[in-house]
């Protein structure tokens, strides 16, 4: 069933542009990677002895760990009908 949202119709349960429910689990990869990068750059500026140029492989490890966690998560069930 399609819902009319003004100028175009979207599938029921969809709000378009990634704002609504999805059948795919929300990935934690990019938020965790960006937070880790920010913390590493912050440590590079304020922690004596911390050198980002020598510790950047931590980002690869964090990326791999988060991808493993994401792959083990079950997909979200489809959204029910809207009333």
pLDDT per residue over 33-43, tens digit each?
A: 899 999 999 99
Q: For residues 10 and 25, what is the distance between their CA atoms, to the nearest angstrom?
A: 21
Q: Report pLDDT digits (tens) over 41-71.
A: 999 899 888 888 888 888 899 999 988 888 8
**Global model pTM greater than 0.85:** no
Tell whether 8 is covered by a domain.
no
**Could you tell me the residue range of the domain that residue 30 belongs to?**
25-83
Tell whether 15 is covered by a domain.
no
Tell whether 11 is covered by a domain.
no
Torsional class of 17: left (φ above 0), alpha (ψ -120 to 50), beta (otherwise):
left
CB 9 within 8 A of CB 3: yes
Tell whether 20 is covered by a domain.
no
Number of domains in the chain: 1
Mean pLDDT, the chain, integer: 75
């Amino acid at each position: 069933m399609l819902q009319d949202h003004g100028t175009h119709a979207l599938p029921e349960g969809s709000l378009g542009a990634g704002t609504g429910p999805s059948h795919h689990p929300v990935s934690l990869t990019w938020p965790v990677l960006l937070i880790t990068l920010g913390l590493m750059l912050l440590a590079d500026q304020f922690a004596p002895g911390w050198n980002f140029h020598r510790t950047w492989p931590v980002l690869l490890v964090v990326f791999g760990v988060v991808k493993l966690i994401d792959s083990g998560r079950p997909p979200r069930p489809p959204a029910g009908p809207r009333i």
